[in-house]
Amino acid sequence: MLRQVKTQHISNPEAFKKQLLNWSQQFDEVIWLDSNDYAQKESSYDAVLAVEAFTVFQTDSFDAFNQLKEYQTTTKDWLFGYLSYDLKNDVERLSSKNHDELEFPDLLFFQPKKIFLLKGNVLETHYLNLVDDELEEDLSDIKSTVTSSGVETHENNIKIKLRIHKDEYFKKLNNLLSRIYRGDIYEANFCQEFYAEDTIINPLETYQQLNAISKPPFATFLKIYDKYLLSASPERYIKKEGLKITSQPIKGTAKRSKNKTEDEALIKNLSEDIKERSENVMIVDLVRNDLSKTAIKGSVIVEELCKVYTFDQVHHMISTVTSQVSDATHPIEIIRTTFPMGSMTGAPKISAMKIIEVLEETKRGLYSGAVGYFTPDNDFDFNVVIRSILYNETNKYVSYSVGGAITAKSDPLREYEECLVKAKAMREVLENAVMH
């Protein structure tokens, strides 16, 4: 099965990106990845769109990685999709019994008929079984797509509720801290859900507003039939380029200030904060350990430790860990042995996952999972699904979750406030959301 690859010059990439995303809405399977011009995060492309499944593979967590391995090996093509957090149950002897109203499959990948890869002014298209003038017609349709001039906002009557109320949050956090003091674990990422029932939103416009507020390097719009992910993720989970593997965990967050001097002080305070640094270092150790399972001996390197990067909404402390793998290592094994990403679990990983499963009220599903793609050359790139709104159109259910790393030095009130800082963009967008 051949893909026809063609390149064209795009005179106004920003305008074209908007048109491309609008045009994609006619399809049932859509994955849009936008790096929002973050060159320093080593994106392979500025934006990627995959639409219209030629084949689809979806499953629950049972034996999921083996089945994905088979699908990826036999297809030998571009595959786009997601891994939900609950695939932990395939990797370890764990289970997920928490409340779930989003009802996303645990794993879903599709082989798209049409792929658009944008880098600078160059658009590369990869069409499967290209028919006559199909590409020219599509490009003409895309370029004539009308996009709204700005993002409208309306006051809305979306009622956002908390799955865990403040007093209950403190109770759970104190329980978690007692497990840490006892030595069961050093750190756990504890998450809570905010949700709205009987709610209809316009997924595309909600995503555009979220992206406009945050402009993150791993933004994602995912539509699979009636299920949507609208993500402003700042975090890369894992990337494979040739034989080099890169993981970039985020641990450590500070708010922004409009005052330049104050903002610089916030960066300095974050970079010197002992609690935030120790959180980050614990996860870096965990990532090093995970990568070593498939790495060539001695090739795991911490390229950057606790470097503060600035985003539109927050400052984040990011570390970069790399390794080299041999040509014989299957790409799915690299994911299986590192999943779920340490920044979303805690350390030691298995104990932390067991404890948070008991304390959390909601099945995480796609939240704190990953979205990305495999290339025909066995490369891949996946983000971490955080700062994201999830929507089940059929159930009229909207949800976003936020979490924080809890260590022995954690102050429950500060942790609660950090959650609200992380949730701010999603809340703002939904409260001003555009209805259908």
128: β partners: 3
403: β partners: 191
**103 within 8 A of 52, measured Cβ to Cβ:** no
Token match 């956090």: residue?
173
The yes-or-no answer on residue 303 being catalytic is: no
pLDDT for the residue numbered 156: 67
CA distance between the termini of the chain? 39
Indicate the pLDDT class of residue 71, thresholds 50, 70 and 90.
very high
pLDDT, one tens digit per residue, over 352-364 is 999 999 999 999 9
- CA-CA distance, 36 to 57, in Å (whole number)? 29
What's the whole-number average pLDDT of the chain? 94
pLDDT for the residue numbered 38: 80
The yes-or-no answer on residue 424 being catalytic is: no
| Apex 420 CA angle, 229 and 193, nearest 5 | 45
pLDDT for the residue numbered 435: 57
Catalytic residue among 52, 235, 276, 418: 235
- CA-CA distance, 305 to 89, in Å (whole number)? 30
**291 within 8 A of 321, measured Cβ to Cβ:** yes
Domains in the chain, ordered, with CATH? 3-139+151-431 (3.60.120.10)
- CA-CA distance, 219 to 210, in Å (whole number)? 9
| Model pTM score | 0.95
pLDDT for the residue numbered 421: 86
Quote the tokens at residue 54: 């030629």
Indicate the pLDDT class of residue 434, thresholds 50, 70 and 90.
low
Quote the tokens at residue 156: 């809305």
Catalytic residue among 251, 349, 363, 422: 251
pLDDT, one tens digit per residue, over 281-322 is 999 999 999 999 999 999 999 999 999 999 888 899 999 999
Contacts of 34 (CB under 8 A, 6+ apart): 17, 46, 47, 211, 219, 220, 221
224: β partners: 29, 227
pLDDT, one tens digit per residue, over 335-358 is 999 999 999 999 999 999 999 999
pLDDT for the residue numbered 147: 79
Indicate the pLDDT class of residue 236, thresholds 50, 70 and 90.
very high
pLDDT for the residue numbered 343: 92
